[in-house]
Amino acid sequence: MLKRLLIANRGEIARRIIRTCRRLGVETVAVYSNADLEAPFVAEADQAVRLGPAPARDSYLDAGKVLAVARESGADSVHPGYGFLSENAEFAEAVIAAGLVWVGPPASAIRAMGLKDAAKARMQAAGVPVTPGYQGESQSESRLQAEADRIGYPVLIKAVAGGGGKGMRKVDAAGEFAAALASCRREAASSFGDDRVLIETYVTRPRHIEVQVFADTHGNAVHLFERDCSLQRRHQKVIEEAPAPGMDAATRQSVCASAVKAALAVGYEGAGTIEFIADASDGLRADRIWFMEMNTRLQVEHPVTEAITGQDLVEWQLRIACGEPLPKRQDELAISGHAMEARLYAENPASGFLPSTGRLEHFRLPTGIRVDSAVEEGSEVTPFYDPMIAKLIAHADTREAAAAKLAQACREVEVWPVKTNAAFLARCLAEPDFVAARVDTGFIAGHLDRLAPEAMPSAAALKAVARARLTAETTDRPDGPWWALEGLRVNASPPCAVRLERAGVVQTIAVEPRTAGHLVAVLQSGDELVAFEHGEAFAFHDQRPDVHAGEVAADDEVASPMPGRVVGVQVSVGQVIAKGQPLLSVEAMKMEHVLVAPFDGLVAAVAVASGDQVTEGAALVRIERQT
C-alpha cells in the first residue's frame, strides 16, 4: 500500500480521499489556495501546503507547483480527484516521470478518451454504438453550421474537451447557431483551454445512463453497474441514482458489456465512467442507447455506486495503482437496494439559480444519511470554484423509499445567509413524475414552475418567528402564576401582536405568549430572525427597513446578478437593441451567464469591458427606452 499520498484537489473529494486513506493507514498531503486556507480538508490532512492565489489557474491547475509540493513533502503518490488536473495526460506523465505513483489511468487512455471527437471515432472502431453527429477536424463556423443543418435541429454543440456540462449548448433553429457556437467556444476555452467542438443530434427524450468501470494492470476489467444521472439543469447533474429505473436485466447486460469493451479498447486502468445517452421515448432499450463519452476519473456521483455494491471505490483506486489485481471478480459484484444522491449547491433558485457566496454563519446538514460536505459552519463560499458545497446520499431497499428518505433529508438542511437549492431538491424528489420514474434530462425544465416556485413561509412558520421574537422581548420578565396560565381565564389579555417585515412586506402576527410552538427552526442572526422550513430560509425584520437602504440599480441599468468576471460584451454605445437580445456575459463559479436586454432601447453606456471583475449589483449597461 502507498505511504504518503498527495491529493491534487480540494473540497469534498479531498475530504473523501482523506477518510479512506486514514482507514488504510496512508498519510495525506493537501494542497490549497489562498481562498481555501481555512477549509476543512486543509485541517484534516496530515500535511497541507499552500499553492498560491485563489484563481485555479494560479493554484490547483498549476501542475509545476503541485509536483514541487509532492517532491518537497515526501509524497510517493498523487491522487487527482475529479476536475482540475484529473484528466490531464501531461500531468499524469509528469507525475510518473517524477517517480511517483499516479492514482489514475495511463496517459494514453486519458488522451484516447479525453477528446470527445477522437473518443467517438475510437469507440466506433471497437464496435461500441455512438450517437449520430459530426466530430470532424474542420472547425470553421460555416462548416459547423452546415453540419448542424445536415443533422437537423435540434442539435447539441459540445466542447471536445472537458465535461461537467461546460461548453455545451442546445440549438433549436439554424438562426440561433452562430450565437450559441460563440458562447460555447468562449466557455470551453475558459474552462479547458480548447475551444473545439463537435455536434450531435439532440435526442428529444434523453436519459443520461453511465456505467462505472474498473480495470487493473493485469488486463482485467469489471463494471459496477449503472447510474442514472438524468436530472440535470443546464447540463449540470443535480440528482443521481443507482441502479437506473426501468433497466431490465438484458438491457443492463448489454450496456455494461459495452462499457467494459470500451475500457479494454483503450488499455484502461483504474476508475472510469462510460457515459451513454438513451432515447427513452420507448423505455430503455439496448438498441437505443449510445456511447457519449468517457470520464477517465472518479465521478462526483460515485457514492451511489458504493451504496448499492458495498465497495469503497477510492480504496479500489489505491490498490490498483499499487499493482494489485481487482478486489472483486464480476460474479462477486451484485446490486443491493437503491441509492440516490442530491447535490447541494450554493445557489439561489429564486433568482434563476445564480451562485450565492459568503460566510456560512449557520450550517446544519441532516443526520441518518451519508453526507459528503466540502464545508462546515464558518466556512467561506467563494466565487472561484464550483458551487457544490455538499452531497446528500440515501440508501434504502426500494427506489421509492430512497427518494422519500433523501427528500426528508433535504428538508432538514439549514444554511444561512448563503442561499442553497435544498428545498428545490426536496421538491424534485417528491414530484410525482419523478417518484414514478418518468424522467429524462428535460425533467427539471419541464417541471420548473412546480420545482422552483416563489417560496412563501407557512402560517405555522410565521407563528414560530413571531413567538421567537416575543420570547426575546420577554426573557427578562420573571416567571409567575399569571404568565404561566394557559387556555381560558377570566379577563384574559388578547394575543400579543408582533409586526414582522419580509421582502418589503409587513405583517402583523397574533401569538399567545405561552402557546405551543411549531416545529420550525428559528435563528437569530444580527437584527434578523431566520425561519428554516422544508429546506427554505426566510428572513424577517422587526420593522420596515429604510427604503433607501440597498437601493437597486435604476430600471434603465442592467446590473450584475452576482460577483464574477465579464467574459464577453456583445453591444456597443449607440446600438439599437431589442428585448431579450444578449448584452454581455459574466462568468462565475465556472459557468457563463448571459445577460439580456429587459426592453427595447438604445445602449447609452457600457461600463465594463471583457476581463473586468464585477461585484454583485454593479451597473454594467445603461439602456435608454425607445418611445
Instruction: Give the active site residues.
Output: 297
Q: Which residue has the cell 514541487?
A: 68
List the alpha helices (DSSP H) in 81-205: 89-97, 107-114, 116-126, 141-151, 177-192
| Crossing angle of helices 141-151 and 177-192, rounded to 10° | 120
The HSE-up count of residue 375 (CA atoms within 13 Å, CB side) is 28
Contacts for 54 with CB less than 8 Å, ≥ 6 apart: 33, 34, 35, 382, 384
- H-helix or E-strand spanning residue 165: none
Distances (CA, A) of 330 to 222, 311, 346: 6, 13, 39
> Within a 10 A sphere around the Cβ of 274, how many other Cβ atoms?
28
Check if the beta carbon of residue 617 is closer than 8 Å to that of residue 607: no
Distance from C-alpha of 280 to C-alpha of 91, rounded to nearest angstrom: 38
Distance from C-alpha of 592 to C-alpha of 8, rounded to nearest angstrom: 25
Contacts for 46 with CB less than 8 Å, ≥ 6 apart: 4, 27, 28, 29
Cell reading at 77 = 503518490
Query: Measured between alpha carbons, how far apart are the two ends of the chain, in Å?
Result: 74
Check if the beta carbon of residue 576 is closer than 8 Å to that of residue 602: yes
> Within a 10 A sphere around the Cβ of 518, how many other Cβ atoms?
17
Distance from C-alpha of 476 to C-alpha of 151, rounded to nearest angstrom: 74
Q: Which residue has the cell 422550513?
A: 533
| Crossing angle of helices 107-114 and 89-97, rounded to 10° | 180
Distance from C-alpha of 280 to C-alpha of 303, rounded to nearest angstrom: 25
Cell reading at 317 = 483506486
Distance from C-alpha of 348 to C-alpha of 443, rounded to nearest angstrom: 19
> Within a 10 A sphere around the Cβ of 248, how many other Cβ atoms?
11
Contacts for 67 with CB less than 8 Å, ≥ 6 apart: 94, 95, 98
Distance from C-alpha of 162 to C-alpha of 164, rounded to nearest angstrom: 7
- H-helix or E-strand spanning residue 307: helix 302-309
Q: What is the DSSP letter of 57?
A: G
Distances (CA, A) of 375 to 18, 38, 57, 362: 15, 10, 22, 11
The HSE-up count of residue 577 (CA atoms within 13 Å, CB side) is 27
Nearest to residue 22, comparing CAs of 37, 44, 40?
A: 44
Cell reading at 323 = 499493482
Length of the chain: 627
